[in-house]
Amino acid sequence: MFDFSLMLEALYVIFTPTNLSFVIGGMMIGVLFGSLPGISASMGIVLMLPFTYYMGIIPSCILLVALYVGASYGGSITAIMFNTPGTPEACARTFDGYPMAQQGKAGRALGLAMSGSAIGSIFSVFAMLFLAPFLSQVALKIQSAEYFALTILGIACIASVGSKNLIKAVITGLIGIMIALIGMDPMTGVTRMTFGSLSLLGGVEFIPVMIGAFAMAEILKQIIDRHETKSFDGDTQVKMETLTLKELFIYKVTIIKSAIIGTLIGILPGTGGSIAAIVSYGEAVRSAKDKARFGKGAEEGVLAPETANNAAAGGAMVPTLVLGIPGSPTTAIILAAFVLQGLQPGPQLMKEQPLLLYAIFFSMLLASIVVFFVARVAVKGFAQVLKLPYSVLAPVIVMFSIIGAFAVSNDMGEVWMMLGFGLFGYFMKKYDFSPATLILGLVLGRMMEENFRRQLLLSEGDYSEFFTRPLTLLIFGFTALVIFSPMVATYMKKRKLKKTITIEE
């Protein structure tokens, strides 16, 4: 598969002035699209399609993949600064990113996010270049039972996300799952829990719920908090702390683990970055010594999901290019763009267009490297926005929330949804329920039910398939580790304490 002369040729192609400007330009447009809530990377690519009709195959492909890479960075900007996650993938970043921003460390949080994403992305494109054929064969071995196990692993992360009050965290997690089940049944197509509303037929859109439960709820909370003191002006402190490379090095284990988790999960068709981000966040919490910091602005809590999310973006390109099976909705659209260039997606793509893989590799690599260095300067500018008085910031966030919810399906009904979940999210926060697990359940619920029932459909109602497939068992084993290792750890601690006490006696 690996061909050195082709690689040099690709390098030569990329470094022509026009193509180089496509990479940089595409990346920048991607960051813009990604940072606007409600505007997905998919929409960005679709809007760029008319321009690519008249380009060649290679230039149009490198433009689109650079845009794709850029969009997965952009999402972190608004998620961290305003608590408005614009994509399901971004929800895990708000867990610790926004608390950091509130402590005045927005610059640092953004720096962590950008560096993490760049490293995750670079890791995954190398995996794509060297291991693509092997990894994509493995991806085909992952079937319904394994997908179900993966969603259970994701759900298990509730234990680490909602450690403050576990029973309430589980309640909101389950409510999230219930909301995800609204709409057409994935197995029979009948309507469920829509109360006769037609716009609920397609299911509840995630983005308005997320924007409501995070951004809108936060504004409402701020208003109540500030109401007493009447301090709506200029009290947001912004420290211009950024991040040095040396500081980043402390988190090398977290970064590498998240990059591997992200790439592997990203490769699976039909998962995408959200599960990758959630699982690697859960893993970061599990392996941390002091778990109490998480949710209050832990730096690993920003790095882990961010790294995994971007690694997943690269991972998703693997089956897209090698098998013609897109690893995520966005890569599906990149594939559609290939069709418009007269390419036929599928296993023969790489044989017919050998240069393409290398060109895409360099485009994604270059875009990531540029982000890594440019972002360190740019985040300072972004963080300045938070210096604005709250009476200016709040209406801007409200505008973002409204349009972000609206643009998801161009429907005012989504704005109602956003507002409703804003109120619900506000009360959840007030009474120590966890909006984060609500989103977790929402993102994973549909997939969990669908794969569980599909497996049962295939195995004629035989549950044993879940416990006999080796890969499923492996994932379940890891799930058990995530759930029980904190309990074991506290038990060991207590015993050790007892021992020392008895010895002292």
By CB under 8 A, the residues from 445 to 474 that bind other proteins are 449-450, 452-454, 456-458, 461
Task: Map the footprint of other proteins across residues 216-275, applying CB under 8 A.
Answer: 219-220, 223-224, 227, 230, 232-233, 269-270
Copy the structure tokens of residue 455. 């497996």
Does 140 engage in binding with other proteins (CB under 8 A)?
Answer: yes
Size of the site for other proteins (CB under 8 A): 105
- Minimum distance from residue 138 beta carbon to other proteins (Å): 10
SS (H, E, C) 145-196: HHHHHHHHHHHHCHHHHCCCCHHHHHHHHHHHHHHHHCEECCCCCCEECCCC
Pick left, alpha or beta for residue 2 (phi over 0 → left; psi -120 to 50 → alpha; otherwise beta): beta
Candidates 185, 250, 477, 495: give the one binding other proteins (CB under 8 A).
Answer: 185
Residue type, 184: M
- CA 13 from chain center: how many Å? 32
Of 71, 101, 142, 312, the one binding other proteins by CB under 8 A:
142
**Applying CB under 8 A, does 112 fall inside the site for other proteins?**
no
Task: Give me the least distance between CB of 316 and other proteins, in Å please.
Answer: 11
> Using the rule CB under 8 A, is 1 a contact of other proteins?
no
Cα gap 443→294, rounded to integer Å: 21
Q: Does residue 436 touch other proteins according to CB under 8 A?
A: no
Question: Could you give the count of Cα atoms lying within 13 Å of 211 in the half-sphere of its Cβ?
Answer: 30
Our measurement of the distance from residue 424's CA atom to the centroid of its chain's CA atoms, rounded to an integer in Å, reads: 23
177 sits near other proteins (criterion: CB under 8 A): yes
Is residue 342 within the footprint of other proteins (CB under 8 A)? yes
Closer to other proteins by Cβ: residue 184 or 248 = 184
User: 296, 341, 378, 471: which one contacts other proteins (CB under 8 A)?
Assistant: 341
Site for other proteins in 188-207 (CB under 8 A): 188-193, 195, 198-199, 201-203
Site for other proteins in 264-303 (CB under 8 A): 269-270
Residues 41 and 68: beta-carbon distance below 8 Å: yes
Sequential DSSP letters for 257-316: HHHHHHHHHHHSTTT-HHHHHHHHHHHHHHH-S-GGGTTS--HHHHHHHHHHHHHHHHHT
With binding defined as CB under 8 A, does residue 186 bind other proteins?
A: yes
Given a contact cutoff of 8 angstroms between Cβ atoms, the answer to whether 237 and 450 are in contact is: no
- Decide whether 20 or 423 has the Cβ nearer to other proteins: 423
Select 52 or 160, whichever has its Cβ closest to other proteins.
52
In whole angstroms, what is the distance from residue 208 CA to residue 424 CA? 13
Least CB distance to other proteins at residue 187 (A): 5
CB of 399 vs other proteins, minimal distance in Å: 6
- CA–CA dist 321, 323 (Å, integer): 6
Q: Note whether 381 binds other proteins by CB under 8 A.
A: no
